[in-house]
Amino acid sequence: MKRAQRIQTLMMTTTVACSTAYLAGGIIEINGSGEESFLLYSQPLGDIFGSDEAPEFSTDHLALVHEKLMSFGIDTDGKVTIIPVDTGYGLSLLTLVDSESGAGDNGGASSLGLTSTAPNSLGFFINDMDQDDWQLISSPWLPSQTLGATFIWEGLTSGDGFAWTGLNIGDALSYSFVEMDDDNAIDAEAFQFVGASNGGLDVIYSDGFKSDGTSVFTATVVPAPPAGLLITGLLLGYRRRRTE
C-alpha cells in the first residue's frame, strides 16, 4: 500500500473511532486513586432505574446492573464498583457496594462510610434508603450538595449502592470512603473502576484502602478530544515510525 493510501486509511479509521467515542457517551476522569489519573468511558446498560422515583434505587434494579456486569465477566462480590452509565436520567456515576442478587436486606452486619460532594444540579438515587444511615445536605453558600452516608448491608447475601445522575461536562464530584465494620465483606483490593472498552465493559483500574482506612478520589466529566487532535497525534506517530 502506498504511503498516501496508508495515511488516508489511518484518517478514516481514526475518524470512525472518534465518532464512536462521541456516540458512546460521557468520559469521566478519576484523580487521587493511584499515582496517575485515568479515564472511564460510559455506555448504556438498559433502563437501570426503571420506574423508581428518586431517591429510591430499588434492589431489583440494582441487581440488574450487577447482572449486566457479570455478563461482561466483571465480578462485583467483595468490591466497591465505580462505573459511569448512560441512563434515562443522563450520564450517571454509580457506586455499587458489594454484589446484589435482588434478595434484599433484612438488617446487616457490614457497613461502609462515605462522604460525597457534587453539584446541586445533579439527581440522586440510593438503595436501601430506609436501612442506610444517610443525609443529603445542600450548601447554603456554594452550588453543591453533600451526601453523608453509612451503607449497611448483609455481606453474605446482598449489597448496597447509590448514584449521581444528570452529569454534564465540567461537573466535578468528590468521594471519601472510610473503612468500617464490613464483616470481611469487602476485599483488600476494595475498589474497582469500570468503563466501556472494546465494545464491552472492563475493569480499568483497581485499588485498596490506604493504611489509615480511607480512600479519597475525585471524578470530573471531561470532553472527548477533538477528532483533529487525535488524527494529528496518530499521524505524527506514523511519521516518527517512518523515520526510525
Is the peptide bond preceding residue 55 cis, with omega within 30 degrees of 0? yes
Name, of 38-42, 103-107, 127-131, 196-200, the range with top average pLDDT.
Answer: 38-42
pLDDT at 16 over 60: no
What is the average per-residue pLDDT within 149-171? 92
- Count up the domains in the chain and report the number: 1
Let me know if residue 229 belongs to a domain. yes
pLDDT tens for each residue of 72-81: 999 999 999 9
pLDDT tens for each residue of 94-111: 999 999 887 666 667 789
pLDDT bin (cut points 50, 70, 90) of residue 242 is very low
Let me know if residue 15 belongs to a domain. no
Pairwise CA distance, residues 3 & 46, whole Å: 44
Question: Mean of the per-residue pLDDT values for the chain?
Answer: 83
Let me know if residue 127 belongs to a domain. yes
**Closest Cα to residue 85, out of 150, 159, 162?**
162
Let me know if residue 18 belongs to a domain. no
Predicted local distance difference test score (pLDDT) of residue 105: 62
Let me know if residue 140 belongs to a domain. yes
Task: Please report the sign of the dihedral spanned by the C-alpha atoms of residue 136, residue 140, residue 143, residue 144.
Answer: negative
- In whole angstroms, how far apart are CA 200 and each of 93, 192, 197? 17, 16, 5
Let me know if residue 167 belongs to a domain. yes
pLDDT at 239 over 70: no
pLDDT bin (cut points 50, 70, 90) of residue 18 is very low
Let me know if residue 155 belongs to a domain. yes
Take residue 52 and report the three cell numbers written for it. Answer: 423508581
What is the average per-residue pLDDT within 4-20? 43
Its domain, for residue 58, covers 24-243
pLDDT at 151 over 80: yes
pTM: 0.83
Predicted local distance difference test score (pLDDT) of residue 127: 92
Contact 105, 153 (CB under 8 A): yes
Q: In what order do the strands lie in the sheet with 172-179?
A: 38-41, 27-31, 214-222, 172-179, 110-119, 144-153, 133-138
Let me know if residue 12 belongs to a domain. no
